[in-house]
């Protein structure tokens, strides 16, 4: 792969750093902390894949930022989907400590009673960061190779759809794992095709 594509090795080392973060997990203090973590474990993957998804002469700083944004958006989605699972099964809290404190959210109580309005408000604040990152990626979709645009855009839209799935279940990311249905995936493929047509 490295012989076929002109790949920068630095994102691979960043990904290794992300794995180290997971092995030696430390409390995530604020949104900047969360975005930095999300870059290392997921944004770096966007940069790793970029030489496969775009011609070398098309890779601009803007496109690199777009690839990073998609990785961060997806990682934030993972975190918002798996709040209960991470806390219950892995004893991990990826939600920023300052957000939890600002909204008086105590996960041990949420685990017993389910999402309350304070939790929902905090969840939505982080979701808006994720949505903004998806938007940043989509704004540059026409800079990716034409033969991969639909696949990449559909992946982004399907993953983004997880956020709406959580919302549709009254924000229960505590006792269930939310996903996008097969029917919705088909709808999102069609929607992605329409988005690409508008870009042309």
Confidence of residue 56 (pLDDT cuts 50, 70, 90): confident
Confidence of residue 5 (pLDDT cuts 50, 70, 90): low
* Structural domain containing residue 83: 9-199
158-198 pLDDT, tens per residue? 999 999 999 999 999 999 999 999 999 999 999 999 999 98
Q: Say yes or no to pLDDT of 9 above 60.
A: yes
Confidence of residue 4 (pLDDT cuts 50, 70, 90): low
Number of domains in the chain: 1
User: Is 3 part of a structural domain of the chain?
Assistant: no
What is the C-alpha R_g of the chain?
18
- The residue among 84, 168, 74 whose CA lies nearest residue 130 is 74
| pLDDT at site 7 | 72
User: Is 22 part of a structural domain of the chain?
Assistant: yes
Record the pTM.
0.94
User: Is 180 part of a structural domain of the chain?
Assistant: yes
User: Is 2 part of a structural domain of the chain?
Assistant: no
Instruction: Find out whether 11 and 48 touch, Cβ atoms under 8 Å.
Output: yes
* Domain CATH number, residue 84: 1.10.600.10
User: Is 171 part of a structural domain of the chain?
Assistant: yes
| pLDDT at site 28 | 97
Separation of alpha carbons 12 and 8, rounded Å: 8
């Amino acid at each position: 792969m490295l012989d076929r594509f002109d790949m920068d090795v630095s994102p691979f080392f960043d990904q290794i750093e992300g794995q180290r973060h997971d092995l030696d997990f430390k409390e995530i203090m604020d949104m900047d902390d969360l975005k930095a973590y999300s870059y290392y474990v997921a944004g770096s993957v966007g940069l790793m894949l970029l030489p496969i998804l775009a011609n070398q002469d098309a890779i601009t700083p803007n496109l690199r930022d777009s690839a990073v944004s998609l990785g961060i958006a997806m990682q934030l989605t993972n975190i918002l989907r798996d709040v209960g699972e991470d806390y219950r099964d892995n004893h991990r809290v990826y939600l920023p400590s300052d957000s939890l404190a600002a909204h008086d959210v105590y996960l041990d109580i949420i685990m017993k009673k389910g999402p309350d309005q304070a939790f929902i408000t905090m969840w939505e604040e982080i979701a808006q960061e994720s949505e903004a990152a998806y938007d940043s990626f989509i704004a540059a979709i026409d800079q990716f190779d034409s033969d991969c645009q639909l696949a990449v855009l559909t992946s982004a839209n399907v993953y983004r759809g997880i956020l709406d799935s959580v919302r549709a279940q009254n924000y229960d990311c505590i006792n269930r794992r939310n996903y996008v249905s097969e029917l919705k995936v088909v709808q999102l493929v069609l929607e992605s095709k329409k988005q690409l047509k508008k870009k042309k």
